[in-house]
Amino acid sequence: QQQPGYGQQPPAQPGYGQQQPGYGQQPPAQPGYGQQQPGYGQQPPAQPGYGAPAQPGYQEVHHHHYGATGQLAEWGSRAGGAVIDGLIIGVPLFVLYLVGTLLASAGDAAAVIGVLLILLAYVAAFGVSLWMCYQEGTTGQTIGKRQMGIRLVSAQTGQPIGFGMAFVRRLAHIADSFLCYIGYLWPLWDERKQTFADKICNTIVVRS
């Protein structure tokens, strides 16, 4: 008799001839494998402000300082404007003061008139100085500056500096009087052609 199962193929071993689980199949892609990294292949974002327009007000100041109508005024033009102001305003006041002094030294009634003329000269000089500060602060020009074609502006904004700053700038001219008035000559070699008063008040004088 045949042995049990003789001539018959032995039963396959459990799992024999079968592919292992997942055998012949592509392994699952790694998470994110084959995908570009976030932002990969893209241009990095521009740095803050990179390629952005210039800071606010830069072009405006640049135009006022070095544009076709904003070139820095030469020292000769500034000196000429000061001389014109002195002749138009200073000379009449000086004459008034001189006449008052002569009458005051004469005695009697003429002395009273002379004293009044001297006081009038001082008051007129103070009033004219305020008027010039107003003109220079609001328009950038006195009579002399207008005749020379120059004007005073803020170095930061390129605009007139206003009455208050114009008054402060006149007081700051005291610094220009130190060391034999060297401050008034400083524009001859200064890069921005400024006097000491200009540097204190951050102002420049440009061609109008």
Whole-number percent of the chain with pLDDT over 90: 46
10-60 confidence digits (pLDDT tens): 555 554 444 455 444 555 555 544 444 554 555 555 555 444 444 444 344
Q: Is 94 strand, coil or helix?
A: helix
- Binned at pLDDT 50, 70 and 90, residue 4 comes out as low
Location of structure tokens 């008040």 = 201
CA distance 187 to 72: 10
188-203 confidence digits (pLDDT tens): 999 999 999 999 999 9
89-119 confidence digits (pLDDT tens): 888 888 988 988 888 887 777 888 888 888 9
CA distance 138 to 170: 15
- Binned at pLDDT 50, 70 and 90, residue 64 comes out as very low
C-beta separation of 160 from 137 below 8 A: yes
Beta-strand ranges (E) seen in the chain are 150-154, 203-207
pLDDT of residue 65: 44
Burial of 197 (0-12, 13-18, 19+ CB in 10 A): buried
Which residues have C-beta within 8 Å of that of residue 75, sequence separation ≥ 6? 185, 187, 188, 193
- pTM (2 decimals)? 0.62
pLDDT of residue 171: 93
Per domain, the residue ranges of the chain are 59-207
| 82 or 44: which leads in pLDDT | 82
For the chain, give the mean pLDDT: 77
C-beta separation of 199 from 72 below 8 A: no
The beta-carbon contacts of 96-104 under 8 Å, at least 24 apart in sequence, are 96/120, 96/121, 96/124, 97/121, 97/122
